[in-house]
Amino acid sequence: MHRALLVSEILVQIFINLNQPPISETLDWPQSPTRKSLASLALTCTTFHELAMDLLWSNIPGLRPLLGCVTRLHSVIYDPKSKYSWSQYADPLVEHEFHQFLRHSARVRNITISATNYFHLLTALPIETRVFPNLRSLSWLVQRTEIGDLRFFLPPTLRRCFVSELQLDMKYIGARCPDVQEFTVHEDTDRALLSETLRSCKRLRRLQCPPFDSAAWMHLSTIPTLLDVNIFTSRTIHYPLDNLNFATFLRLTSLSLCGIEVASAVAIIQRSKFPSLKEFEMHVRVLPWAEAEQLFRALSLCKASQTLESIKISSRNRTQEHTSDSLTAVRQFLCFKELRTLGLSVHYPIYLDDDLLFEAMTTWPHIHSLSLVNWRPSPATLTFRGLFAALRLSPQLQDLQVSVDVRNIDIEPEVESFQHTSLKNLTVDSCELEGVNVEAVARIIYSMLPAINQVMCSNGGIPRLWYNVNKHLDMLRNKTYSAPDPYITEAVLALS
């Protein structure tokens, strides 16, 4: 054996790199090449054994691998003919089989439970048995389980818990697993049960779940470790937070709200400080004009305006109301000095002209992405000259989506020496088709935005216009210039 393998740090790194199977291997866990390699290493020598076994059993897809260690069950579990039906005829484990089942369970760090058809085999296990004493991550993908099914999967060591549906056994998960840091509930659930569950958690770092009550909000605001909160619901619901007092989320850096009504979001923003918030996202089904203005104003007045780096707000459906006004969103967000990303898609025209974009880029020196989706056709007031004047102030900008008056060619790329080399993705909304000099537009983009391969258009744009622009862009890039051969030139001149 090479002496480098006797250095534990080197050996650990080699084995960890080996234990990175492709997704295709995880679908057939028992026969995966990675698992077979680790098993062979475990049998090679005593130096390799413990580390290889730890990695071999660190991540398992359910109880089947552990049940395969039970002598009575091994042959039927790995018999292809009975792969999915053997468990319904098997008797529960008896006392002398407990040791075989628990032989490697202490090595398990991550487990995914997607079925309950093996649970009856564990009914004789003493309730105080620590089946997974070192479990760190639990993914519980089953629904409608019986009370008590979770008792073996919630050890004090648990750090991450994902459940498709909240179970009664998790009501006091914070007490049973005091160090749980990540908690995700995927589907809508009973709000009272969820709220009580969250109030038992004391050290959360990341939370993703449906809406909960005001008492749980107030509790979460006192958790000093909380960094990320993602509240979502599959349907727009009335979400009363009438009793929400002023709350301070000291270290919260990311807040995402999906599906809840705008009034509730405004209440959360207005009654919380968020002194460390860097990312805010909100997605709603419908966002009326008045509520959009109210939401933008609430954001601009909150203390997080000094720290926010990313704001993304979108609505899925158009509203039935008609208004000739344009959202003053850009001006509302000028207070965010640290802004890196701004994305608005709200089915309303968003006012933007040369002066406003110039002011915005002056205010946002760190901006990387600006997307103002114009779903409704409206005359563009931003010119090419105004666009490039603003781009001079934003050298880090990589993604841009705005409405530009492409009929007004007010810039000559041959005269300008400016090139913006960082902009890689450009989406231009424009409702004007007639009178557009497609070749001139392509020449401007080719000369001044060299990193742009194609100009994209949103649903509110005119695909034919930008198809022609991109066609000219390809021609400009593929055009080759070859110098004339001097001997051929002299011969032609002599003959003439």
pLDDT at 257: 95
The gap from C-alpha 229 to its chain's centroid, in whole angstroms, comes to 12
pLDDT higher than threshold 70 for residue 293: yes
pLDDT at 237: 64
Structure token digits, residue 6: 């006797």
pLDDT higher than threshold 90 for residue 88: no
Lowest mean pLDDT among 29-38, 120-129, 324-333: 29-38
Neighbours of 298 (CB within 10 A): 17
pLDDT higher than threshold 80 for residue 110: yes
pLDDT higher than threshold 50 for residue 89: yes
pLDDT higher than threshold 90 for residue 70: yes
pLDDT at 376: 67
Asked, for residue 50, whether it belongs to a domain, the answer is yes
Asked, for residue 12, whether it belongs to a domain, the answer is yes
Residue found by looking up tokens 């080996």 in the block: 18
DSSP three-state, residue 258: strand
Asked, for residue 222, whether it belongs to a domain, the answer is no
Total tally of structural domains belonging to the chain = 2
Which residues share a beta bridge with 206? 182, 228
Asked, for residue 493, whether it belongs to a domain, the answer is yes
| Domain that includes residue 465, residue range | 352-496
Asked, for residue 291, whether it belongs to a domain, the answer is no
Asked, for residue 189, whether it belongs to a domain, the answer is no
Going by C-alpha positions, the residue among 350, 255, 246 that lies closest to residue 307 is 255
Asked, for residue 250, whether it belongs to a domain, the answer is no
The residue type found at 405 is D
pLDDT at 168: 86
Digit-coded pLDDT (tens) for 183-199: 999 988 888 999 999 99
Digit-coded pLDDT (tens) for 384-441: 999 999 999 999 999 999 999 888 899 988 888 899 999 999 998 765 567 789 999 9
Arithmetic mean of pLDDT, 354-381: 90
Q: Which residue has better confidence, 491 or 220?
A: 220
Mind spelling out the 3-state secondary structure of the chain?
CCHHHHCHHHHHHHHHHHCCCCHHHHCCHHHCHHHHHHHHHHCCCHHHHHHHHHHHCCEECCCHHHHCCCHHHHHHHCCHHHCCCHHHHCCCCCHHHHHHHCCCHHHCCEEEECCCCCHHHHCCCCCCCCCCCCCCEEEECCCCCCCCCCCCCCCCCCCEEEECCCCHHHCCHHHHCCCCCEEEECCCCCHHHHHHHHHCCCCCCEEEECCCCHHHHHHHCCCCCCCEEEEEEEEEECCCCCCCCCECCCCCCEEEEEEECHHHHHHHHHCECCCCCCEEEEEECCCCHHHHHHHHHHHHHCHHHHCCCEEEEEECCCCCCCCCCCECHHHHCCCCCCCCEEEEECCCCECCEHHHHHHHHHHCCCCCEEEECCCCCCCCECCHHHHHHHHCCCCCCCEEEEECCCCCCCCCCCCCCCCCCCCCEEEEECCCCCCCCHHHHHHHHHHHCCCCCCEECCCCCCHHHHHHHHHHHHHHHHCCCCCCCHHHHHHHHHHC
Q: What is the pTM of this model?
A: 0.84
The rounded mean pLDDT for the chain is: 85
Cβ atoms of 377 and 460 within 8 Å: the answer is yes
Asked, for residue 4, whether it belongs to a domain, the answer is yes
Cβ atoms of 207 and 228 within 8 Å: the answer is yes
DSSP three-state, residue 494: helix
Arithmetic mean of pLDDT, 217-244: 84
pLDDT at 272: 86
Helix 46-56 vs helix 33-42: crossing angle, to nearest 10: 150
